[in-house]
Amino acid sequence: MRRSRSSIANIEQLQTIHVPATEIYKALTSVQGLSEVWTRELTVYEQVGASNDFRFGDDDLTKMQIVELTPPKRIEWLCTESDPEWVGTTVSFELNEKHGKTDVILRHTNWREITNFYRSCNYNWAMFLYSLKTYCEDGAGLPYQDRKF
């Protein structure tokens, strides 16, 4: 099915991580976890309404307002500052634990259209989940500063 340019697009990714949901929730809400999973240049709060800042190089700032924190089940952010294609989009993480392993569903919703940047972000969110998995399972993620791709 082909989408028209006016459609809203969403990114959805799934990763199974072999640790309890509480550990993943902590990784996604703490400075320590997010600095190992996403970027080492960040300011992170653990309070609904607060704004987390993530830097990817000198001129690339992303601000995510925390919309929801439901331990250890769900996290939602609203992008308030970043690339124009991200502003107004939401990123959420749903954590579903069963028998000591957790399915993480990442959704990046409300894109205005499918562009090359959207496609690149789709790939990079998959890499984010891989980084989250290796951090939670092995103790070392793959933050932006260590990526070579």
Contact between 82 and 63 (Cβ < 8 Å):
yes
Q: What contacts 70, CB < 8 A, 6 or more positions away? A: none
Task: Map tokens 């190992």 to a residue.
Answer: 36
Give the pTM.
Answer: 0.93
Residue boundaries of the structural domains of the chain: 10-138
Question: What pLDDT was estimated at residue 7?
Answer: 52
CA-nearest of 77, 44, 79, 39 to 58 is 39
pLDDT (tens, 9 = 90+) of the chain, 149 residues, equals 444 444 589 999 999 999 999 999 999 999 999 999 999 999 999 999 999 999 998 889 999 999 999 999 999 999 999 999 999 999 999 999 999 999 999 999 999 999 999 999 999 999 999 999 999 999 999 999 998 86
In the DSSP assignment, the letter for residue 73 is: T
Contact between 107 and 126 (Cβ < 8 Å):
no
10-138 architecture in CATH? 2-Layer Sandwich (3.30)
